[in-house]
């Protein structure tokens, strides 16, 4: 199966995309002709309000504490 992978040159450090077989670990750098090795690409995404591990963020905790404080203040006002 052919895929687009990123490869970084071991000599000039340029990173380029190559359309290759998925198993291809090394290609020739288009800039200098030296070997370029496959970069490990990890998907980088996050859902709003969550950290990558799925735990509440500091902002979520702050909102929850603030809502509790507002409820307590309303009880004391009445």
Q: Examine residue 27 and state whether it is found in any structural domain, yes or no.
A: yes
DSSP H helical segments within the chain, as ranges? 58-77
Helix and strand element counts for the chain (H, E): 1, 4
**pLDDT at residue 77 in the model:** 75
Q: Examine residue 35 and state whether it is found in any structural domain, yes or no.
A: yes
Region for residue 42 given its phi and psi (left: phi exceeds 0; alpha: psi -120 to 50; beta: otherwise)? beta
Q: Does the pLDDT value for residue 36 go beyond 60?
A: yes
Q: Does the pLDDT value for residue 48 go beyond 80?
A: no
Q: Rounded to an integer, what distance in angstroms lies between the CA atom of residue 63 and that of residue 75?
A: 19
Q: Examine residue 57 and state whether it is found in any structural domain, yes or no.
A: no
Q: Total domain count for the chain? A: 1
**pLDDT at residue 7 in the model:** 96
Q: Does the pLDDT value for residue 66 go beyond 90?
A: yes
Q: Examine residue 18 and state whether it is found in any structural domain, yes or no.
A: yes
- Residue 18 in contact with residue 7, Cβ under 8 Å? yes
pLDDT, greater one: 56 or 62: 62
**pLDDT at residue 74 in the model:** 87
Containing domain of residue 7, as a range? 1-40
pLDDT bin (cut points 50, 70, 90) of residue 45 is low
């Amino acid at each position: 199966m052919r895929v687009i992978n990123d490869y970084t040159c071991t000599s000039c450090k340029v990173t380029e995309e190559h359309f290759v077989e998925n198993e291809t670990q090394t290609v020739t750098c288009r800039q200098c002709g030296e070997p370029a090795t496959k970069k490990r690409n990890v998907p980088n995404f996050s859902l709003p309000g969550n950290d990558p591990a799925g735990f509440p963020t500091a902002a979520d905790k702050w909102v929850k504490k603030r809502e509790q404080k507002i409820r307590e203040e309303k009880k004391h006002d009445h």
